[in-house]
Amino acid sequence: MLPTTPLASRGEPQIAHEPINDLPVHKLTEPQIFYPVSESRQFTRVDAARAFSAAPALPAAERDQPANTPEYIAKVTHAPHRIEKVGKGANEHQVLQPAEVRIPHPHMVAAERDKITLSNEMGERSRRYMARIEADEKAEKARKEKRKAREAASMTRVEPTEGRFEFRFRDVVVSRETVGLDGRGEKGVGRRYGVPLADRRRGEVKIPTRVEV
């Protein structure tokens, strides 16, 4: 059965239909890990994410900084390319972030914090919420423009004088670091270059078999 949310009566607070902390299970969090931790300090979500990512522990100066503040969340979401990476070659991946950062709408965490701390100042809460939305949109726009400029710089365009078409060429490097050991690396020429897709195999089920809610 699908989850339902009753409509609140007049004057009562409305319960949100979808909680803001619903996240799909990340592949790095599937194994069970026994990680020794000192009892003299608090083990946070950031520490757990780094343990699941096989990343080294944070320095003592950065260990006790809160990771659920709007400033920390914005610093990560506005520049996701700066997230620390671990591993080498095809096994390189970004360090897993806490749930406050990985949710689809991280600014809602800050809105919930403002609802608790500024319960009687609805105007100030609305102003902060709109400011965070504008900052997120501005950062996303700047990130897209940089990506387009980077792609345009790596492409060579040739337009014949008497032709109607424009030819575009991009240099491609096929090596062990780009395509990986199995030839399916994400940095190669196409994600599955030279390897047929799984749905072309004999007996492969191509219709949905379950509905995830």
Q: For residue range 98-148, list pLDDT tens digits in order.
A: 888 888 788 888 888 888 888 888 889 889 999 999 999 999 999 999 999
For the segment 60-112, what is each residue's pLDDT rounded down to a tens digit? 778 777 877 888 888 888 888 888 898 887 678 889 888 888 887 888 888 88
**Does pTM surpass 0.75?**
no
Query: Which H/E stretch holds residue 93?
Result: strand 93-94
Domain boundaries, the chain: 27-153, 156-198
In which band, very low, low, confident or very high, does the pLDDT at 195 lie, cut at 50, 70 and 90? low
- pLDDT at position 131, please? 92
What separation, in Å, do the N-terminal and C-terminal C-alpha atoms of the chain show? 9
For residue 1, what pLDDT is reported? 61
Considering only CA atoms, give the Rg of the chain. Answer: 23
Scored b (16 or more CB within 10 A) or e, 35-60 reads eeeeeeeeebebbbbbbbbebeeeee
Contact, 105 vs 20, CB < 8 A? yes
Model pLDDT, residue 122:
84
